[in-house]
Amino acid sequence: MDAATNKQEEEEDIPFTDDDDVGEVLDVEEVEGAATTADYNNNTYKELTSKFTTEDSLDIDTLPKGIPDKFYILSHASMPSGGFSMSDIQHAFSPEEIQRLKLQPENVTVPAALILLFPDHFTTQTRARKESRKRKILLHKGALTDGKFDRDKLKIAKVGDRVVPGFILAVQARMEHNYSESANHHKEPPFHLPVVYEDDYFALVNKPEGIVVFGPKGGGYGRMTVKSCLPWVITPPKLGVVSVLRRPTPVHRIDRGTSGLLVVAKTKPAMVELSRMFKERKAKKTYTAIVNGDILEPKDTSISNEEAEKLGVCIGDDDDVESRKRKWQVIDNELEDQNAVTVWRRVKQYTGIENARNNTLSMVELKPKTGRYHQLRRHMAWTGNCPLLGDKTYDGGGPARLLRENGFYLCSNKIVIEHPFYNSSQGRSMWEKVKEVEIKKCNDHKENIRIAEESDGRVLVYAEIDLPSKFNELTDLMGENISAAAECKDEVA
């Protein structure tokens, strides 16, 4: 594997998006009789589509069944009885397209009809053809019977099919989901992947050390990626949730050698919103690491809790007065000519360690403000002069090589993130209905997981996981030379 591929896989907290799954869904009433295309476009489209582009779920018992099973029709519109107006066709298509596709007011292709009937959704021929090839468009030959689709007249539309007056185009989406279908023929997940938090929109999983999030294009890791394992461990959204991804998808990457919390989207709107949060650095993460050496905390780079909060990192809600008085450190050093900021502080020390720098190891808490390639590892090694324990890339070799046996010690163990649906305008009403149940569910089963509405009205999800056992077993791993861990006390100015 080349260096470029490896770098792409191991980028810290880089947002990831995937646009190959179920898209937005629509609801459009049938256009009756001689209603013109222009009247339909101007007066009804946005009003009629708003319901299914904003609501979180639908009652599928009220929806017509699509093709094949598990698909349901969410919208439909008919070609007017008099055909489309030539002015609308000339406005939507170039003369060359009109000639090449042989578009006439009473005879157009399926993609052309989609553009004319659903102009806000199908904005280009490319998109219309793409949705058709994904089997999301149905063609009903003739009017509905008593307002119902006739299964004998209904088929999956092809790009080359022609639409004439009275024909109906319907948009469908899969509404019943079984993620395990994405796992092919394997009976068991490839590795253990604990789910820390989960609802119908997103999930948090605890990524093991040594596992990549995404494999490179063309393979290389087989099933040993987080994305491959997710269909086995994530529960599909409840029946009727719209815009569900074909398979749950991580929205960011963390290093292969790093363990800890990874954010996973279950619906397309959640993926878009969560990816935006990571891109804008609104997901507040905390890492814990063991570094090789007695790391210094200079006064000229120290800041208070209040100053750290103003930087946009989450310092927690620790009620301990002494802890609240302790200072943080700021590393603000560019990496590859890009701004890179890490807020950190020392938590514990382990002294008398053979082969360690100054015979000392330090536990540190790290809060990245930015997410550059190997930011935390390089900031600790290059600025703090104390590389992560066991990090063979940056530990400098020498005696440090004798401390690599158990990999490097870095865990993403805390996160605070805005809920991707409940904070939206359409999600607020749903939150009011479910918040008591959701809050109680977290309180009953997860001591370190909670969902809460803050004083400013935002719905936040807080998650904290235990550090991997090797952190707690450090004393045993290093032998009798390790002294008891002592809490570090900062001087209070």
Distance CA(126)–CA(111), nearest Å, equals 8
Which sign, positive or negative, has the C-alpha torsion 478, 481, 486, 489?
negative
Q: How large is the C-alpha radius of gyration of the chain? A: 28
On whether the CB atoms of residues 75 and 170 are closer than 8 A, the answer is yes
Cα–Cα distances in angstroms (integers) from residue 395 to residues 45, 282, 297, 369, in the given order = 61, 31, 20, 23
Reported residue count of the chain is 493
Instruction: Name residues whose C-beta falls within 8 Å of residue 148's C-beta, 6 or more positions apart in sequence.
Output: 64
DSSP string, 449-484: EEEEE-TTS-EEEEEE-PPPHHHHTHHHHHGGGPPP
CATH 3.10.290.10 positions along the chain are 64-174
pLDDT by residue for the chain (493 residues), tens only, comes to: 444 444 444 445 555 433 322 222 222 222 222 233 333 333 333 333 333 334 456 667 788 999 988 888 988 999 999 999 999 999 999 999 999 999 999 999 999 999 999 998 899 999 999 999 989 999 999 999 888 999 999 999 999 999 999 999 999 887 777 776 555 556 778 899 999 999 999 999 999 999 999 887 766 677 889 998 999 999 999 887 878 888 899 999 998 999 999 999 999 899 999 999 999 989 999 999 999 999 999 999 999 888 888 887 777 655 555 666 778 999 999 999 999 999 999 998 888 888 899 999 999 999 999 888 999 999 999 999 999 999 999 999 999 998 898 899 999 999 999 999 999 888 898 899 999 998 888 877 666 899 999 999 999 999 999 999 999 887 555 544 444 333 444 443 3
DSSP string, 380-394: IIIISS-PBTT-TTT
Cα–Cα distances in angstroms (integers) from residue 105 to residues 37, 108, 116, 168, 457, in the given order = 11, 7, 11, 15, 51
What's the burial of 373, exposed, middle or buried (CB within 10 Å: 0-12/13-18/19+)? middle
- The pTM score is 0.73
Domain 64-174 in CATH 3.40.50.10860? The answer is no
What's the burial of 467, exposed, middle or buried (CB within 10 Å: 0-12/13-18/19+)? middle
